[in-house]
Structure 1
Amino acid sequence: MNIVTEIAQLQSSTAIAVAIMIGCSAIGGAIGISLLGSKFLESAARQPELMPKLFMRMILLTAFIEAMPIISVGVALWFASSSLFAQNLIQMLPSIT
């Protein structure tokens, strides 16, 4: 096993994992916001007098839903920028060869 090949494979796997993390969290956030918005419009159409109260709750829930993609992007960027995995692989080098 060549160490350069192992590091290249590790970096490519990390890039794929980062793309999956960001993509799945963006899709989940978009689905959550769209469901929340549709239910808000339904309930506002049924009872317009509750609209201010519902709007404040919708804004709060939107912040919670959007927190998931933001945290996921932060973790993904941390994985992409850190060389933690490559350092562990280099430390294991004497046991590999």
Structure 2
Amino acid sequence: MEAEAAKYIGAGLATLGMIGSALGVGLIFSGFLQGATRNPSAAPGQFTNLILGAALAEALGIFAFVIGLLCLFA
């Protein structure tokens, strides 16, 4: 009984990394929009960096989710 409760607590703690991922993506897009409104001519050059940063941040969130699932079902 205690082992199962510990498993659920561990899975919940492992998925807290998704909060950081959501905050990271929000900050990335916020910074891009602030920079694009200040200097619109530089925005197209930074778009690839925006997509790369968002993809890496989302990958960390997905990794945290997978670790949480592994805690539950492995």
Query: What residue is the counterpart of 2:4 in the other structure?
Result: 11
CA contact (8 A) 2:18 2:65 kept: no
**2:50 matches 1:58:** yes
Alignment partner of 2:17: what SS?
helix
Q: Counterpart of 2:6 in structure 1: which amino acid?
A: S
- Where does structure 1 lack aligned partners over 5 or more consecutive residues? 1-7, 83-97
Give the secondary structure class of the aligned counterpart of 2:28.
helix
1:45 maps to what in 2? 37
Structure 2 spans left out of the alignment, 5+ residues = none
Deviation (angstroms), 1:69? 1.1
Q: Deviations over 1:32-63 (max 9, x none)?
A: 11111111011101111111121111000001
**How many positions carry a matched residue from both structures?**
74
Q: Does 1:28 align with 2:11?
A: no
Over the matched positions of the two proteins, sequence identity in percent amounts to 28
C-alpha separation in 2, matches of 1:53 and 1:70:
27
Q: Is the 8 A contact 2:14 2:68 kept in 1?
A: yes
Secondary structure of the 1:37 match is: helix
Runs of 4+ in 1 over 3 A off after TM superposition: none
How far the C-alpha of 1:66 sits from its partner, in A, is: 0.7
How well do the aligned residues superpose, as a CA RMSD in angstroms?
Answer: 1.0
Q: Tell me, yes or no, if the aligned pair for 2:36 and 2:42 is still in contact at 8 Å.
A: yes
Aligned-partner Cα distance in 2 for 1:20–1:11 = 14
CA distance in 2, matches of 1:78, 1:21: 10
